Amino acid sequence: MWSLPLNISKRVQNLEYAIRDVVGHARKLEKKGRDVIYLNIGDPLLFDFETPEHVKAALIQAVKDDFNEYSPSEGLPELRDAICEKEKKVGDINVLPENVIVSNGVSEGIQMVLAALVDAGSEILVPGPAYPPYISYTEFFGGKAVLYRTIEEDGWQPDLEDVRAKISDSTRALVVINPNNPCGALYDKKVVKALTDMAGEYAIPVISDEIYNQLAYDELLSTAKVANDVPVIGLNGFSKVYLMTGWRLGYVFFAGQDEQLLEELRDNITKEARIRLSANTPVQKAAISALRGPQTHISSMVKKLRERRDFSYKRLNEIDGISCTEPKGAFYFFPKVEGIGSRWENDMAFVSDLLEHTGIVFVHGSGFGTIYGSGHFRGVFLPPLDVLEKSFDRLDSYMTKKGQ
């Protein structure tokens, strides 16, 4: 006999993804005819950025040429070679093709890596504010995400003392996201070195999420480059830099001196890759073209984004009650709002009230972890200047009204 409600696992019931969870109310307003501006999602393709023509052509060709079967679970050999060439060229690191596993987006890479490292009670050190999947997947696998502080006044650089204080016998990995989502921080070379040295001291592998590594407005150093003998599990992909968000392709790579350590982890993650058969084959073909073909779209993208970053940073700081550190990478701003806890009950109330009054969709800061994210909001500076201008004008008059 059926009985309702069906038993849904606690694991799934507890899942959250603030960046998309905020959209429901916005869609309702839009249905009522309101002009809604979505500044919540980090997808360049929703604005005036397009997948490069040669990459689109390569996908179409791959489908026509019948590359439509499953690929090897680890990914197409030619793509794994191209990824190693790119890692050498961009990050100056040596990765062997057998140490690359192609995934359906970095998201799947995060899931596979954490599944391999987390047991019940394991702890994963994650930068706070945090990109939510690192918290969600860690908890999903029975572990605990321990957020380490990043210092707003210092451009959201990791607080090294806090990291050290939070390392325990249960720590299974230290996550570094550089450039960072949601803060737009770019970590100093010295900080990255200190983090990897600390991981080495306690024999903890580093998970380095480098999805924005070619979208930096200052010098960026790859984690594996400074990590010496500390194993680095790198995560990168095609969504942002190669403008392929909807195609879902990424990769995990293993870098470091200790072959044996890496081999064991890699072989276990490969088992996970086999269970899900393979990544999307024609998209892998297109990714080879993305990596080996013209790269000119990257510099034009960075140029456009830099202009939008400068504009957003200036405008946000001119608004009474808002203060923002300068984003140095990626395409996010993460400003602080004065009056959270008094004028607004919390940052969620701020974001909903702002949406109601202005039609602008931001993500509440606590969606990136309550300890370090509260009192803030995250937006993207992806739209063209006129859209950003309209958004900041609305935010400005909203803040003025609320301040009266």
Residues at the interface with ligand PLP (CB under 6 A) = 42, 105-107, 131, 177, 181, 209, 211, 237, 239, 245, 250
Q: Between 285 and 315, whose beta carbon lies closer to ligand PLP?
A: 285
As given in the structure block, the two tokens for residue 109 are: 């890479």
Residues ≥6 apart with Cβ < 8 Å to 254:
95, 99, 100, 231, 232, 233, 234, 262, 265, 266
| Residue closest to ligand PLP (Cβ) | 105
| CA angle, residues 148, 152, 157, in degrees to nearest 5 | 60
Q: Between 321 and 329, whose beta carbon lies closer to ligand PLP?
A: 329
Question: Following DSSP, what letter does each residue of 105-120 receive, concatenated?
Answer: HHHHHHHHHHHHH--T
As given in the structure block, the two tokens for residue 350 are: 């701020």
Q: Between 17 and 202, whose beta carbon lies closer to ligand PLP?
A: 17
Residues ≥6 apart with Cβ < 8 Å to 181:
42, 131, 211, 212, 330, 332
Q: Between 91 and 237, whose beta carbon lies closer to ligand PLP?
A: 237
Q: Which of 235, 156, 226 is nearest to 198 (CA)?
A: 226
- Provide the strand spans (E) within 66-198: 100-103, 123-128, 144-151, 157-158, 171-177
* C-alpha 64: how far from chain center: 33
Residue type, 214: Q
CB 187 within 8 A of CB 157: yes
Task: Give the bridge partners for 252, in sequence order.
Answer: 101, 235
Provide, rounded to whole angstroms, the least separation between the CB of residue 239 and ligand PLP.
3
Q: Between 93 and 287, whose beta carbon lies closer to ligand PLP?
A: 287
Q: Between 91 and 321, whose beta carbon lies closer to ligand PLP?
A: 91
As given in the structure block, the two tokens for residue 280 are: 């999307």
